[in-house]
Structure formats: structure tokens, C-alpha cells
Structure 1
Amino acid sequence: MAGQLDQTENMAQLFAAWINVKRAGKGLSDNTETAYRQGLAAWCKELAVFHDLDVPDDEDPMSVITPEHVYEDALIACAAAFQRQGYSERTRAGRLSALRGICKWLTKTRRLPFDPSVELEFPRIPARLPVALTNEELGRIVVAASTPYERARNQWISRDRALLAVYAGAGPRAAEGLSLTVRDVKREEGGALLLLHGKGNKDRNVPVDDLVVDSIDDYLAEREALLGPYEPGDPLFLTFDAWGIRQDKPPVARPMTTGMLEYLVDQWFLRAAVRRPEGELAHVFRHTFAVGVLRGGGSINELQALLGHEDMATTGIYTRVAAEDVMDLSKVSPVLAHLRDTRQPPEPEPEA
């Protein structure tokens, strides 16, 4: 049992050390780090209950848990508590992924004698197909993002159109779109490209239509007039306080965050009267882009490169969504009418 070890480092300190190791390796996105932190905090909070430790409301539960509290029976009890508390399979799987990661490192660095998480089974997550917007829904959202709305806070239409053009026209992940700099918009002779910085510090060039670049250029021209000159390495997407401008104060601009983006997208859905897919905000445009590529004749290999997926199986799920069009077309094949006309009626059953 891990309690036999003399350990004084708490899980908050160990988490910071583990994250530094991961950053120095393949790299780690801010979203992934946040998910790991939240997942491990949930385990530590439940471990504190299991060990009957007093954790003040304003204290991080990771600061009271040490490796001696992390052993198999305790983790099994915590996992059972998560299930009783009604957390979804997806949430519990995410928490277990965070726990597995740090326990493996704690074992490797001899802070634990063995990995106590290996016997915990991942919950089976129900298959959920990605939801893509219909052409009509996408059109309504474009109109909503392009139309002045008097109740909107800090509405910036040229920027909003550029955001929508990038997310629906290139399919980046939320963090990838927000990490774009001005120089990442490449205007080549053979066509425009966006240089996206993906997971694991893997960059990829995604070709985009001239209309996407036109939307970006319109926004940058307005941005320069409003905020002054920009440098190639400056963040592409900014936000600023429009209230200050109305009070004759100079605008204070700052890079957009994921929270700002998600709020903005949510407002587009509301104003467009489009039902937002459950759990989807900016990511729904990535799904819409992916399905559009396949329906437009793109191959699964091309889509994998565009989306930056390492595993073909991750990309392959979009083929099931795109196949719905094929199923519909199969019902209007010309041969069907001839088959109906020539079908022989069933033989009548003999009378008793």
C-alpha cells in the first residue's frame, strides 16, 4: 500500500511537476491541462472524503492529498462514488485518463511503488456521431453574425465574420483558431493557406478559399483603423471593450479566449434561432466543415490531413454522417420504379 512510503509532496505540487514534464515533451494545450487539473481535483476531493480529511471550501483538495492516500481500494471507492453521483461515462472517462497519466508518472519517479490505477476500467462511452449544421442552419448563423444587434455586447461584425469564415471554412479546433497570428494567414500564388498549430506542436497548412481570406482582410483593415498598426506575430483575433469607445476612451484590445469565443458562438445560435447541438459550440463548425469536405468529394485521407488527426479511426466517424446523403440518394434511383412495376404480387394462401 502506498501509505507505507514517506511522501511529503502533495498532489498539487506533483501535478505541477508532471505538467512541466509533459510540456517539455510532446507539448500540451491549455484546454488539455485544464481538463487534467479538473479531473485530478475531482479525484482528490473524493479521496479526502474517503480518508475523512477536512478540506476548507477555499482550499484546493489537491493540497491535502499525498501519494500515501492514493492506493487501489481508495481509488475503487472514489470511482464508485462518481458513478453513484450520476456523472456521465464521458466525464468519468476523462477523470480516469487524468488519474492514469499522473499515476504512471508517480510510479516511474518512484513516488508510488506500483500504479494503483491500472485495474480501474474505463466506462463504456455510448457512440455519438458528430453533429453537422445543415446548409440552411449555417446560412442563418452567417446572417446572425453579420447583422448588427443592438443588445449585443462588444459586437464587432467584421471580426465575427472572419471568425466564422475561419472556423467553418478551415475546420480548426477552438484553440487552434485562437492561436493564429497575423502571419499565419498565407497568401500564396497557388491559393491561400492557414498555418494551424495543432496538438503536440504539430503544424499543418490548410488551404482556404479566397472568400475566407477576404473576410480576414476586411477585419484586419477595420482593426488597423480602430487599434492602429499590427505586427506579423500579433494574435489574429482580438476583442476590446466597446463601452470605452463610447465614453471617448482609447480601446483596450486583448487576445480572444476560448470562453469569449464560446459565448460569441452561443449568441449566434440564439439570434439565428438554431438549436445548438448538445455539448457543441465552436466545435460544431469543425464537424460541419468535415462533413462538407466528404460530401463535396474529398477523400478520407485528405480530410485526415486537413483536421490534423493522428488516427484514421477518428476521421472515419465523419463518413457515417456524410453517408446519410448517400442513403437518401439510394431511394431515388431510377430502377426503383421499374422494380415496383414488375414486382409480382405474393401468391394467395390456399383456402382451408
Structure 2
Amino acid sequence: MTPQTHWISAFLEAQAAELGAARNTLLAYGRDLQDFESWLTHQNQRFDAVQQSHIEAYLIQCDAQGLSRATRARRLSAIKQLYRFAFEEGWRTENPAIQITGPGRDKRLPQTLSEAEVDLLLDAARVSGRSDRDRARNTCLMELLYATGMRVSELVGLPVSAARGDPRMLLIRGKGGKERMVPLSPPARTALAAWLVIRDGLEDTRRNAGKPASKYLFMTSSAAGHLTRHRFYLLIKEFAVAAGVSPAKVTPHTLRHAFATHLLANGADLRSIQTLLGHADVATTEIYTHVLEARLSELVLTHHPLANEGARTSSGIMPPDDQ
């Protein structure tokens, strides 16, 4: 057992023994702290040498991965509790996390994009990249994401086997290994076919160089073997800049929200959207009814000719008496 692993196990034992923490809570703490431990290892850092700047850098990395504010707040909470425990145990002479304020939980409705903004992003992806290969890959990434509403981890980790045979439906393996089928739009199928031709050519080159075949649709030479979530996060920001859409409102998850909101606006029912998104509970999907209601209210208040009472009276148009 490494010293860092010992820190985590001792902390979890104390949480269970002293606070009676529930099993699910302990599992969540363990997952969050193991992720932090993995990040520290890549930075050649140890728990006992961590400074405030390291924790802040880790939180920035979590944000760059597209993790929700709630997830980032939970991870910071786990780190704070770990270092409070370490301080009380005498493992540290100071607490490096004590002055860090968390992002808080985002209680606002999820931000989404209009259909026009999504079209601009798709157009930008088609022309973004230094080569035909990059542009074909970028187009395929964006078309698949918007056509299916996949999570970014599901998108970048797609196996190439799922894309063979010009599929009308794409098999997606989601959270907990659960599988679901999502239909592909004609533009997504076209982009997928074009990328597969280029991707298979790259695979032939790799094979001729004695490298093993890749099982991923978006293969790279990274340690993961495929395009990383962080790299795609940066790509989608580049597309936003090129499209003239505010980068602050564009993330991989925003496209997932747009997928669901646009389906709902065009008549899809919640149960179908739940299935397509891979939500375990329809209550999670119901947030999109509130998103749609908010957007419709904003549309009316902004564009309806009679929405501005001042404009109505100043123009000489008075509201009729109640009948």
C-alpha cells in the first residue's frame, strides 16, 4: 500500500467509525480522492507535500474536463475533509485546503444553445483544423455529439466497432456499463462515413509501422488510446470562437442539453428523451421541461409586439377593457 493510499484508507475508516458515514458516501469520497491521487501522481506530487496551489490547479483541471459545479464542489469537499483529518492526526502541520472556497452547487437551470447557435458550431467544426484529417474528425465529433446527446466520455471512448456498416443506430455504453441505442441523423452518418475512411487509412499506416490496432473510433497516441475529454473540451471552445458564439456558454455538456431541449421543443416526449440520454430516472430528464418553459417565456417577453406595456401605450394602442 502506497503512503497516499494509506491516507485515503485511514480517512475512510475514520469517517465510518467516528461519523457513521453511509456506504455510498464512503464510496463517493473514495472515488473523488482516488481521482485526486491519480492527478497528483501525474504531477509527481504526494499528499503530504501538497500546497494550496496544487489543489487549485486540480480544480481547474476538473473544470476543463467539463465536470459540473456540483461534482467539483463534492471533490473539493472530500479534499478539504481529508486535509482537516490529516491536520488533526498530525500528518500535516498546516491545512492547504482551508482557505479554498468551492464553486458551490449550481442551482440554475442548465445552459443550452439555440438551434441557430448549434448550426454555427457545426459549420465551424467543418472548417476548423490544420488538415483534411482534422476537419473530418472535428465534423464527425460534433455531428455525433449533437445527433445523439452523448456524454463526452461516451463520445471520445466510442469503439470503432460501433461505427461499422453505416449504422442507422449507434450502440452507446453509458454509466454503469448500461447500453442504449440512439438513432443517427443523416448528417451524422455522412460525417461518420467520411471519418472512417480517413481513420482506417491512419490505422493502415500504424499497422505498417508495427503498432497494434486501435479499438477506438477517435484513436490517438495518448495514454488513454483515444481523444481525451480535456482535448475535446478545448476543441469545442475553439469552434465557439470561430463560430462567433460565446465560449463561456459552450461545453460538451451544453450540446447534450441542446440535444434534449431541441427534441422536447419539437414534440418528443420525456420518456423517449430519457432513454436517449441514458438517464436512470425520468426526474433527471424533467429539468428540460423547465428549460423549455424558461426559453419560451424569454422568447415571448423579448419578441412579442405587445410584451412592452410602455410601447403599447406610447404608440396610442391601449389595452381593451375586460369584457
Q: Where on the TM-score scale, by shorter chain, does this alignment land: which range?
A: 0.5 to 0.7
| Aligned equivalent of 1:37, options 34, 37, 43 | 34
Sequence identity, in percent?
Answer: 23
Does the CA-based 8 Å contact 2:4-2:46 persist in structure 1?
no
The within-5 A match list for 1:57-206 is 59-61=45-47, 91-96=72-77, 125-148=105-128, 152=130, 156-185=134-163, 192-206=168-182
1:156, 1:309 → 2: CA distance? 32
More deviation, 160-169/175-184:
175-184
The aligned amino acid for 2:267 is G
SS at match of 1:204: strand
Q: How far did residue 135 of structure 1 move?
A: 1.9
More deviation, 204-213/91-100:
91-100
Does the CA-based 8 Å contact 1:193-1:208 persist in structure 2?
yes
| Aligned equivalent of 2:216, options 212, 235, 238 | 235
The aligned amino acid for 1:277 is A
Does the CA-based 8 Å contact 2:199-2:217 persist in structure 1?
no
SS at match of 1:228: helix
CA distance 1:34–1:213, shift in 2 (3 Å): farther
Does the CA-based 8 Å contact 2:274-2:285 persist in structure 1?
yes
Q: Are 1:217 and 2:193 matched, yes or no?
A: yes
SS at match of 1:127: coil
Q: How far did residue 323 of structure 1 move?
A: 1.8
The within-5 A match list for 1:177-326 is 177-185=155-163, 192-228=168-204, 234-239=215-220, 254-277=225-248, 281-326=251-296
SS at match of 1:129: coil
CA distance 1:63–1:193, shift in 2 (3 Å): farther
Structure 2 residue runs without a partner (length 5+)? 13-23, 51-68, 83-101, 307-311, 313-317
Does the CA-based 8 Å contact 1:198-1:204 persist in structure 2?
yes
Does the CA-based 8 Å contact 1:131-1:284 persist in structure 2?
yes
Q: How far did residue 164 of structure 1 move?
A: 0.5
CA distance 1:201–1:323, shift in 2 (3 Å): same
Does the CA-based 8 Å contact 2:168-2:183 persist in structure 1?
yes
SS at match of 2:124: helix
2:225, 2:37 → 1: CA distance? 31
CA distance 1:175–1:58, shift in 2 (3 Å): closer
Does the CA-based 8 Å contact 1:41-1:62 persist in structure 2?
no
Does the CA-based 8 Å contact 2:154-2:172 persist in structure 1?
yes
Does the CA-based 8 Å contact 2:8-2:33 persist in structure 1?
no
Structure 1 residue runs without a partner (length 5+)? 1-7, 20-25, 27-31, 46-56, 65-87, 102-121, 242-252, 346-352
SS at match of 1:196: strand
SS at match of 2:280: coil
The within-5 A match list for 1:18-33 is none
Q: How far did residue 212 of structure 1 move?
A: 1.1
CA distance 1:318–1:259, shift in 2 (3 Å): same
| Aligned equivalent of 1:12, options 5, 14, 25 | 5
State the partner residue of 2:21: none
Does the CA-based 8 Å contact 1:11-1:63 persist in structure 2?
no
Q: How far did residue 294 of structure 1 move?
A: 0.5
If the length of structure 2 is used for normalisation, what is the TM-score? 0.62
State the partner residue of 1:72: none
Q: How far did residue 125 of structure 1 move?
A: 2.8
Higher helix share: 2
1:13, 1:176 → 2: CA distance? 32
Q: How far did residue 286 of structure 1 move?
A: 0.5
SS at match of 1:156: helix
2:260, 2:107 → 1: CA distance? 18
1:90, 1:167 → 2: CA distance? 22
